[in-house]
Amino acid sequence: MRKQIAAANWKMNLSQNEAESLMDQLLASDFNLSLNQSAIFAVPAIYIPLAIQKLSGKQNVFVAAQNCHQKTNGAYTGEISAPMFASIGVQHIILGHSERRTYFNESDALLAEKTEAVLAVGSTPIFCCGEPLEIREAGTQNGFVDAQLKNALFQLSAEQIVKVVIAYEPIWAIGTGKTATSEQAQDIHAYIRSVFAAKYGQDIADQISILYGGSVKASNANEIFSQPDVDGGLVGGASLIATEFAAIIKALK
The catalytic residues are: 97, 169
For residue 72, how many other CB atoms are within 10 A of its CB? Answer: 12
d(CA 72, CA 82): 7
Mark residues 189-218: x for contact with ligand 13P by CB under 6 A, - for none: ------------------------xxxx--
**Identified binder of ligand 13P from the candidate list 4, 5, 9, 252, rule CB under 6 A:** 9
Q: Does 235 bind ligand 13P (CB under 6 A)?
A: yes
Residue 13 or 142: the one with the smaller Cβ distance to ligand 13P is: 13
Judged by CB under 6 A, how many residues of this single chain contact ligand 13P?
Answer: 14
Q: Considering only 85-93, 101-109, 181-189, 236-244, which stretch makes contact with ligand 13P by CB under 6 A?
A: 236-244
Asked whether the beta carbons of 251 and 33 are under 8 A apart, the reply is no
Residue 200 or 210: the one with the smaller Cβ distance to ligand 13P is: 210
Q: Does 43 bind ligand 13P (CB under 6 A)?
A: no
Q: Considering only 54-62, 83-91, 167-175, 200-208, which stretch makes contact with ligand 13P by CB under 6 A?
A: 167-175
Q: What is the dihedral of CA 227, 233, 235, 239, to 10 degrees?
A: 100
Look at residues 81, 65, 63 and name the one whose alpha carbon lies nearest to residue 73.
81
Q: Are strands 124-129 and 165-168 parallel, antiparallel or unpaired?
A: parallel
Q: Does 234 bind ligand 13P (CB under 6 A)?
A: yes
Question: Which residues, 6 or more positions from 52, have their beta carbon under 8 angstroms from its beta carbon?
Answer: 63, 88, 89, 90
Residue nearest to ligand 13P (CB): 236
Q: Does 104 bind ligand 13P (CB under 6 A)?
A: no
Look at residues 91, 41, 26 and name the one whose alpha carbon lies nearest to residue 250.
26
Q: Does 248 bind ligand 13P (CB under 6 A)?
A: no
Asked whether the beta carbons of 83 and 72 are under 8 A apart, the reply is yes
Query: Concatenated DSSP letters for 150-199?
Result: HHHHTTS-HHHHTTPEEEE--GGGTTSS-PPPHHHHHHHHHHHHHHHHHH
Number of H helices, E strands in the chain: 12, 8
Q: Does 141 bind ligand 13P (CB under 6 A)?
A: no
Q: Does 237 bind ligand 13P (CB under 6 A)?
A: yes
**Identified binder of ligand 13P from the candidate list 81, 236, 242, 249, rule CB under 6 A:** 236
**Identified binder of ligand 13P from the candidate list 175, 198, 201, 219, rule CB under 6 A:** 175
Residue 153 or 218: the one with the smaller Cβ distance to ligand 13P is: 218
**Identified binder of ligand 13P from the candidate list 3, 54, 92, 97, rule CB under 6 A:** 97
The site for ligand 13P (CB under 6 A) is made up of: 9, 97, 169, 174-175, 213-216, 234-238
